[in-house]
Each structure stands twice: as structure tokens, then as C-alpha cells.
Amino acid sequence: MQRAFRRAHRSLWLVLAFLIPIVLGLALMMRPTGTHEQPPVPLDDAAKSALEANQ
């Protein structure tokens, strides 16, 4: 049983040693870049007057 345990340990880590970096690498490569902040959009005249009216 001891050797069976060692075999299971070796097989498991051979799989995990490939699988984990692949998942980690893909997740990091595919993640959205940038700051998630949208550039400010200038207000048009109608929006400006509506804002001033509210203030």
C-alpha cells in the first residue's frame, strides 16, 4: 500500500503541476486590462443646464 500511496501522490502532482499553472496563466492572460475607470465624458449643453437646474 505504501508504494500505491507514493504512486498516487506522484500521479496527482504530475497532473496538478500542469493543470494549476495553466488555469492560473489563462486567468491572468485573459483578465481585463486597464483601471476599469471610464474616461470623463464632457457634458453637452442640455445636460449642463439640467445639472445647474438641479443644483
Partner 1 sequence: MSVKYVPVIWNRTKLAYDAVVLATVGAYLGIYLYVAPQFQTVTMPIDWDIYKAQAFGTCVFFLLTFILCIGPMARLDKRFLPLLYNRRHLGVITCVLAYFHVDNILGWYNAFSPINRYVSVFIVNTSFDRFLGFPFEILGVLALLILTILAVTSHDFWLHFLKPTLWKFLHMGIYLAYALIVAHVALGALQSAAGPFMTTAVGASVALVAALHLLVARKEHLFDTQESPMDDSGTWMDAGDPTEVPDKRARIISITDDERVAIFRNGKKLSAISNVCAHQNGPLGEGKIVYGCVTCPWHGYQYRVEDGRSPPPFTEKISTYRLKLEDGRLWLNIEALPPGTYVEPVVAPILAEGS
Q: Rounded to whole angstroms, how far apart are CA atoms 43 and 37? A: 17
Nearer to partner 1, 31 or 54 (CB): 31
Nearer to partner 1, 13 or 43 (CB): 13
Smallest distance, partner 1 to C-beta of residue 40, A: 15
Smallest distance, partner 1 to C-beta of residue 39, A: 17
Q: Rounded to whole angstroms, how far apart are CA atoms 15 and 21? A: 11
* Grid cell at residue 48: 449642463
* Identity of the amino acid at 24: L
Nearer to partner 1, 16 or 43 (CB): 16
